[in-house]
With several copies, the nearest count.
Chain A
Amino acid sequence: MPQMNMVQAINDALRVAMKKDDRIVVLGEDVGKVGGVFRVTAGLYDEFGDDRVIDTPLSEGGIVGAAIGMALYGMVPVPEIQFADFIWPAYDQIVSELAKYRYRSGGEYPCKMVIRTPVGGGIRGGHYHSQHPEAHFIHVAGLKVVCPSNPYDAKGMLLAALADPDPVLYFEPKRIYRAAKGDVPEGEYTVPLESASVAREGRDVTVIAYGAMLYEALDAAERAAQEGVDCEVIDLRTLWPVDIRAIEASVEKTGRLVVVHEAPRTCGFGAELVSLVVERVFFHLQAPPRRVTGFDTPFPYTLEMEYLPLSHRILPALLETARA
């Protein structure tokens, strides 16, 4: 099996899917000739041509609006938003249209597509090239939101998203675009959406993480183990609809919960995860759940490593939760 990084795995998924299904078109800023500013679509323009790998004018609203029109026609568009930080000009189309189309048309107009966009910090991007805006989309009924953490899942989940009948936001954790490597099968396979994976088994504390922060959670878990605290780390993979059974099962076992995410804490996805857990398995909980997250400030530049919920900030939360 070939070794790939995340960029290669996503690229491979697109190529495999586009070969098989000619309804799939990729569109966005700089996705064509140059193959994307992160080179995720590299080579696709040469292979599939300008009608299927489309460099667009500089307008996220136009990209998503046109993609919706294509989807209504019956194509399967895969718009790329160059950085998730630049998705807001398309937010009206996503919130008011994409998410509600099937519902508001009584089922007459499903609107299937996969919006790909790089997310997250730790790449010296400052305010506008670092944000992790999942909560803005999870709160909107009608959208699925995924965020793979490794090349195998990245390919399998993108193929699953392309086969899914609903609109999917596919968040690519750019800090690990090249750092996360692994074996990736050739050809077609899918990793089912809505299924979390247990990245590390443990008995004492459940840690929920996803994307680039998974590795920080795993690192903290290893360090906690050295202090006698045995953590179970869940890689959510699909953020919404979340794999609630996996979470319940783990917290029922450990009785303790720490949630990690890069986005600001307040009204972040961590709040939803904590709430679901306390509502559903309250009487199993032996300690207050904890959130280790970005701060409630814009994403900084020089001090980004202090802002991010890295291993050094997760570890104390694990130990304190285990010992509370």
Chain B
Amino acid sequence: MDSQPLTETHDEIVRVLRDDGTPDPAVDPGLSTEELRKLYSAMVRTRVIDERLVTLQRQGRIGFHIGSLGEEAAILGSAFALRERDWGFPCYREFGAALLRGLPLQRFIDNMFGNANDLVKGRQMPDHYTCRQARWGSISSPIGTQMSQAVGFAWAARLRKDDAVALVYFGDGSTSSNEFHVAMNFAGVFRTPTVFFCRNNGWAISVPVERQTASRTFAGKGIAYGVPGVRVDGNDVLAVIAVTRRAVERAARGEGATLIEALTYRVGGHSTSDDPNRYRDKKEVDPWLERDPIERFRRHLGRLGVWSESDEDTLRAEADRQVREAIAVAEKTAPPQLETLFEDVFADPPWHLVEQRAELLRGPRAPSAH
């Protein structure tokens, strides 16, 4: 690692967990047993929730879910590397990171149902939660828009002499958006304390990375902006932590932004609306199943002797119970009140929204079925 200063871009892929299963001590972030167990638990919990939500969608009980299957190391590791004072600007695939940062599970599940307790008042699709208290951004669907916002946020922090860093998530496909360009450019010019975390999961819905860019790597795109790039094995949670920590520290020291390319793979469909068999060969997926980030990390913990079979059983049972309980509660919670439709458009509703609210309340109700 020391041979790779974060001021240039390298092609090598940073790894901690070597093929023989042993960790590379030069890169290992050196987590305590407690931290290792916490991190692993968060990854498993994320997977358990993901599986449950896909089932719910199949049963027609929620409308949509966009999951993180296979990407848990990239998502959880990066969030784990943040300090409490730092901020995350998510894309749509990082609910696991939000939960780790403090989004209450019940609130997340409320968002999946868009009920009255949903923090965004049932206004957005599932997985478009918000949680300011967790220093976590608000999610929107348009690709890339969070990037320049993360730059502006981090820039503001620096201007206010606050050493908070903003980490922003996005996918390989998102690097083609206008937003990647302008955000990286502003971050380079103004040396904002921003960490660009690119989940290179191989696909943007049905479009493979070769169709996304002719650049040799995603990390290499940093060169165009004077922002150093680094590639990391995105299925090696310890490597992700190590690399992200260095980027966060560098940013906090006032040395500017870093672009991290985490190489991972979208094992599932793009979302519950997508059937990947339409456009990719199952054979392509198989090797990635073997590189499963959770299995890999568990083997490591097993070797270290800090995780047992019974730990695993307890964790899974507990995670499953928690999510089922949250679902039961959320499903019973009423939808948001009609009035909420007109709140928060502005700080105070102007005359036209007051009139429209009255019009809606006075009128007949919509047929309830979709």
Contact = CB atoms under 8 A, between A and B. Distances in A.
- A contacts B: CB pair < 8 Å: yes
B335 interface: yes
A169 B107 CA distance: 34
Nearest to B176: A57
B138 A104 contact: yes
A121 B364 CA distance: 19
Interface stretch (A206-214, A226-234, A298-306): A298-306
A137 interface: no
A97 B145 contact: yes
Contacts of B364: 312-313, 315-316
Interface residues of A, number: 82
B305 to A, nearest CB: 43
Interface in B318-370: 335-336, 338, 340-347, 350-353, 356, 360, 363-368, 370
Interface in A274-324: 295-298, 300-303, 305-308, 310, 312-313, 315-316
Interface stretch (A3-11, A63-71, A180-188): A63-71
B220 interface: no
A225 interface: no
Contacts of A93: 145, 148
B125 interface: yes
A72 B350 contact: no
A249 interface: no
B122 A302 contact: yes
B206 A34 contact: yes
Interface string B183-201: 1011001000000000000
Given A61-B182, A69-B152, A129 B145 contact: no
A305 B370 contact: yes
A306 to B, nearest CB: 5
A106 B206 contact: no
B205 A37 contact: yes
Contacts, number: 271
B153 A92 contact: no
Contact of A34 (B137, B179, B205, B211): B205
Nearest to B362: A316
A51 B159 CA distance: 7
B178 A92 contact: yes
Given A58-B212, A301-B123, A70 B153 contact: yes
A296 B359 CA distance: 12
Contact of B273 (A32, A37, A68, A122): A37
B95 to A, nearest CB: 16
Contact of B186 (A33, A56, A104, A306): A56
A107 B349 CA distance: 13
A59 B176 contact: yes
B169 to A, nearest CB: 15
B138 A109 contact: yes
A85 B141 contact: yes
B124, B140, B179, B205, most chain A CB atoms within 10 A: B124
Contact of A102 (B157, B185, B344): B344
Nearest to A142: B345
B366 A142 contact: no
A88 B141 CA distance: 13
Given A34-B205, A55-B211, A310 B366 contact: yes
Interface stretch (B24-32, B113-121, B232-240): B113-121
A252 interface: no
A141 B189 CA distance: 33
A128 B363 contact: no
A25, A33, A110, most chain B CB atoms within 10 A: A33
A58, A128, A300, A313, most chain B CB atoms within 10 A: A58
Contacts of B148: 61-62, 64-66, 68-69, 93
A124 interface: yes
A127 B138 contact: no
B204 A126 contact: no
Interface in B139-153: 140-143, 145, 147-153
17 contacts: A25-B159, A30-B207, A37-B273, A58-B173, A59-B176, A61-B148, A61-B178, A71-B152, A72-B153, A92-B145, A104-B123, A108-B130, A194-B350, A297-B341, A300-B122, A302-B122, A312-B363
Interface of B: 63-64, 114-115, 118-125, 128, 130-132, 137-138, 140-143, 145, 147-157, 159-160, 166, 173-174, 176-179, 182-183, 185-186, 189, 204-207, 211-213, 273-274, 278-279, 335-336, 338, 340-347, 350-353, 356, 360, 363-368, 370
